[in-house]
Each structure stands twice: as structure tokens, then as C-alpha cells.
A and B are shown apart, each in its own frame.
Chain A
Amino acid sequence: MTHASASPGLPTSPPQNGPPIVSIRDLQKVFPVPGGQTVALQDANLSIQRGEFISLIGPSGCGKTTLLRLMADLEQPTAGELLIAGRTADQARRERQYGYVFQAPALMEWRTVLKNVLLPLDVMNVPGDRLGRAREMLKLVGLEKFERNYPWQLSGGMQQRVSIARALAFDPPLLFMDEPFGALDEITREHLNLELLRLWRETGKTVIFVTHSIPEAVFLSTRVVVMTARPGRIEGIVEIDLPHPRSDDTREDPRFFTHATEIRELLKKGHA
């Protein structure tokens, strides 16, 4: 399937019905530390439908990155159940169900931009025209003119866009993003937020997005999962009923502020 075919019919991209693509029950993660243990995540329950855009928000130490890494099978849970598309996280990883975008672009400095996007296709031995596919992805993030450049020749925002193209290259149904725009300036960040929403609408992926910015979470998401620290847990889930497609005007919508306040109250509640 080509990613572009999913776009025209879904102008507002409502969550689809059917079995959840991510289902989490009583999930727990405990790290051993010298002289004891840290509860990074406790009693997490969450169900995510196909096509949703979910943000995980909270202060540092709330376990949002841990939760994402558990879903990606980069960490093993100590208790609870976690199913990705009906399979265990390990199976889902083996079947390449998701693409992962890190906080840093994590591009390989010895590969050109194009070869970086090509990397997952080569590793997975994807059949067909890999080069064409990689070029298509670069075009999607607007960097087709830079395919021969090395990563260091690009700005931070451009590098992060390459990293997104790389995550989308093998067309996984899920996209995990761990504070991908955290290190960027506000202007670039808002610009990339719009780009990301466009990609989400066009490709119909399910996105799970870690952030610590309230406006970013409200602007992007269909639902925001608010987490609090010590121990890391889910404090509440906020439905965002802002219309799609969203634009800069969305930030002026009164509901935008209502939702932001709602999230802030939840975060404060966990802090007390």
C-alpha cells in the first residue's frame, strides 16, 4: 500500500472503530537502582484506536518516555499486559509495526541524507524500488533537494525532518515520537507541528507523541494522556475536540485554552 492513498477520504481523520491498536492493562515498570528501586511507571491503563494522535505529557520522571520505550520493546515491563496490534511488543517489533523518532535526530553522520532514509529499507530488505521510496519520503518532508548532503550540513529542524522521513520510510502503521521537537526553537517547532499534522492526515498513521509542552500537546492531539511523577502514573486523559484540519487559527480558539487549563489542573493535582 502506498501511504498517499489514505489521505483524500479522511479530511478530519476521526479515530476508527475496531480493535485498539495499542492496549495497555495495569502496566508497571520498576528500575533497580543502587540500594533499592525506582517505580518509573505504575498501574498504567490505556487503549488507543487506529488513526488517533495521542500525546503523553508530564514533568520529567513521570514515566512518559518509559511508557513509549515499553511499547517499542526497548524496555521490558515488570508487570501488566501490553498489546500492539493484538501482538506482544516483541512480536510487533519483529513485524516492524512502528517507526521511532528520538528526541535527537540520531542520523548516522557517515550516511548522506538519502542513505539515512534508506537505512531501514536496507536493514529490513524491503522489496521493490527502495531508492524511489526513500526519495518519496524526503519529498514528503520537503527535503528532496538535500538528499546528497551529510547530516551536519543541515539545521536541527531539517535533521529532525529527515529522522521523521526515516521513521515513515517502511510504512509502519504506528509512529512513536519521543519529544522530537524538544530541542528546537519555538518558531521551528510550531512550523514542524503543522507539518506533522499534515503528514498524519495524509498517511493515516497512529501517532504516539511524548512532549512536555502543553500547547503542543493540545494543538496536535486527538487525546492527551496526562502523567505525573513519583511514582510515574497516568493522572487523567483529556479529549481534544478541536476541529481538523488545524491551523494557526486553532491556537486562538477558546476551546484551545479550556483544554490547556484542564491539562494544567491535572498536572498540578499530581504535583500536590
Chain B
Amino acid sequence: MLEPGPAVTATRPPWLAWLAGLGPMLIVALIAAALYWSLMLAANLGPAARTLASGAELDCRTALACASQLRNPVVPAPAQLAQGFARLSTPVTSPLALPYNVGVTAGETVLGLVLATVTGLGLALLLVASRSFERATLPWLVASQTVPVVAIAPMLAVLLGQYGVQGFLPKAIIAAYIAFFPIAIGMSRGLRSADPLHLDLMRTYHASGAQTFGLLRFPVSLPYLFTALKVSVTAALVGSIVAEISTISFSGLGKMLAENSRASDTVALWVIMGYGALLGVTLVALVNALERWVTPWSRR
């Protein structure tokens, strides 16, 4: 066969391109750090001056020098953040330290996401199977997307507690409750988006309904599922943290947030935020990895 295949041009190895791409990110990070430093000084200057004036014993003389050493800073200094990070991260396995609590929240979120996926899939199947069901419920599902569902979380937490659902599960259920809408909507769209040509093709094969579903409709809907999952995973994380805040919890990021918010421990709040961000980014990255593994045919 003479026809040439797609041209394969030699490019730089991917890791090199990746490394080269980090340069601008590094510079932006440096600029952000400089901005942060000046912002921190500006924000803390007032309280520092007041503390000095009140005659408190500090090992610094000027307000500027004290700005980075306040006990309860408005914005913590990098050194304080590092100390706080060390204080809250060790010992790693302690139920009072952050790594353990991050693990608890991660577990709730993942369980919630699994529940949400199962519910969302079932709902999507119903929506696709019955037009009456779709017309009766879809407007409500779409409207519920615009509703701040987290508002319901505290109430749901109390309600589940009343009916004896305790521990790990209520948080996972609340996470699922917040996360299943995007999945249901995304999947019902995906299950409908089979190419008419492919449907004709399956018809020429005299394929059964189950075969058309398994070989055509389901694989077509997978990219839609992952798009929805990426939205859902952050929503589920927010849901489980809010649930931890709203119920009597003994562990989890939400419990630590509520505790330190009451105690006004600013440094701890910043460190928890860092961990929360890390958890969020990790979960999204996991979903991305899962997507690449399940749908290897995608170009990106």
C-alpha cells in the first residue's frame, strides 16, 4: 500500500518539554511569594504596632520587625507557616495530626463519590429509558444544579444523626448527595450521544439491545462520565468537609477547621487550607489518571 501513514515528526522528549514549561511557573511563583511577603507585612503592621504599644514582651523593637512574629497574625509569615506545618503534621499517624485527618476526609469523599456514581448512573439509565420520567424529573434535576446544595448539608447531617446513621457514613452520604447531580446529567447526555451511523451499523449487524448498550452507548458515554466526575469530586470534597463541620465529628479536615476557627488559630487554618488544597488537587489528579487508564483512546 502506497498511501503514507500520518507523519511522525521527531520532537523533544516529553520530560524535557515538561521541565522547560516549569520555568515560567517558577518565576510566577517567585513573584507571588514576593507579593505575599509584602502583603503579609502590610496586613500585620497595624496589629504589631498595637501589640508593641500595649507593652507586651516581644523580642523585636519595631512594628516592621514584629510583623512577622505575631502570635496570631492576620496573615502568617513563611517561617510561622513552616513551624505550623511541622507542628500539625507530626506525628504522622496521630489522630490529632493532619495527615490522619486528611486520610479520613479523603476516605469519606471517595466513598461518597462511589455512592454518587452508582446513584447517578441509575438515574441516568432511568432518564434515558423513559421519556415520561425524563419530562417529569429532568427540569427539577437541572434546577437543583443551580441550587446551593451545601445549604442542605447541615440539616441532612442532623437528620441522619437522628435516624442513627453515624460515623463515616453520614459524611459520605452528604458528599454523595452533593456530587450525584452532575453525574446523572452528564451520563444521561452521554448515553444519548451515540453516533447515528454507529446505531445504523449495529442495526445492520442485527445486534441485541444489550449489545448496542455495552458495545456502543456505554463506551460513548465514558468521556461524559469523567467530565462529570471532575466536577463531582471537588463538590464531594466540599460536601464531606461541610458535613464534618455540621456533625459532631472526632476526625477529619472539617473538624480541624471548626476547632481552629473557634480558637482563632490563623496559622493552623492556613496549614489546613494547604492540606485541603493538596487533597483537592490529588483527587482531581486521580480522576484524571483513572480517565487516561479507562479511556486510552482519547487524544489528550
Q: Indicate if the CB atoms of A188 and B201 lie closer than 8 Å.
A: no
Q: Indicate if the CB atoms of A158 and B201 lie closer than 8 Å.
A: no
* A76-117, CB < 8 A from B: 93-94, 96, 98-100, 102, 104, 106, 108-112
Residues from chain A with Cβ under 8 Å of B3 in the complex: 155, 157-158, 188, 191
A108 touching B216 in the complex, CB below 8 Å, given contacts A96-B205, A191-B2: yes
Judge if B206 is at the interface, Cβ distance under 8 Å.
Answer: yes
Residues from chain A with Cβ under 8 Å of B216 in the complex: 108
- Please give the number of chain A residues whose Cβ is less than 8 angstroms from any Cβ of chain B in the complex: 34
Contact partner of B204 among A72, A152, A155, CB < 8 A? A72
- Please give the number of chain B residues whose Cβ is less than 8 angstroms from any Cβ of chain A in the complex: 26
Contact partner of A155 among B6, B197, B198, B207, CB < 8 A? B6
Give Cα A98–Cα B200 distance, bound, in whole angstroms.
13
A123 touching B200 in the complex, CB below 8 Å, given contacts A155-B5, A158-B5: no
Q: Indicate if the CB atoms of B204 and A98 lie closer than 8 Å.
A: yes
The listed residue with most A CB atoms (<10 A of its CB), out of B1, B3, B211, B220, is B3
Residues from chain A with Cβ under 8 Å of B15 in the complex: none
Residues from chain A with Cβ under 8 Å of B295 in the complex: 110
A93 touching B203 in the complex, CB below 8 Å, given contacts A109-B297, A110-B297, A153-B6: yes
Q: Indicate if the CB atoms of B206 and A74 lie closer than 8 Å.
A: no
Chain-B contact segment, one of A10-18, A41-49, A142-150, A231-239:
A142-150
How close is A119's CB to chain B, nearest CB, in angstroms?
7
Judge if B269 is at the interface, Cβ distance under 8 Å.
Answer: no
Judge if A180 is at the interface, Cβ distance under 8 Å.
Answer: no
* B202-244, CB < 8 A from A: 202-207, 211, 215-216, 219-220, 222
Residues from chain A with Cβ under 8 Å of B4 in the complex: 155
Q: Please list 30 pairs of residues, one from A and one from B, whose beta carbons are closer than 8 Å in the complex, sorted by A's number.
A: A73-B204, A74-B203, A74-B204, A93-B203, A93-B204, A93-B206, A94-B206, A96-B206, A99-B204, A102-B197, A102-B200, A106-B201, A109-B297, A110-B222, A119-B205, A119-B215, A123-B215, A124-B205, A124-B206, A142-B1, A146-B5, A150-B297, A152-B297, A152-B299, A153-B6, A154-B6, A155-B5, A155-B6, A158-B3, A191-B2
Known: A155-B4, A158-B3. 17 other contacts (CB 8 A): A99-B204, A102-B200, A102-B201, A106-B201, A108-B216, A110-B219, A110-B220, A110-B222, A110-B295, A110-B297, A123-B207, A123-B211, A124-B206, A155-B3, A157-B3, A158-B5, A191-B3
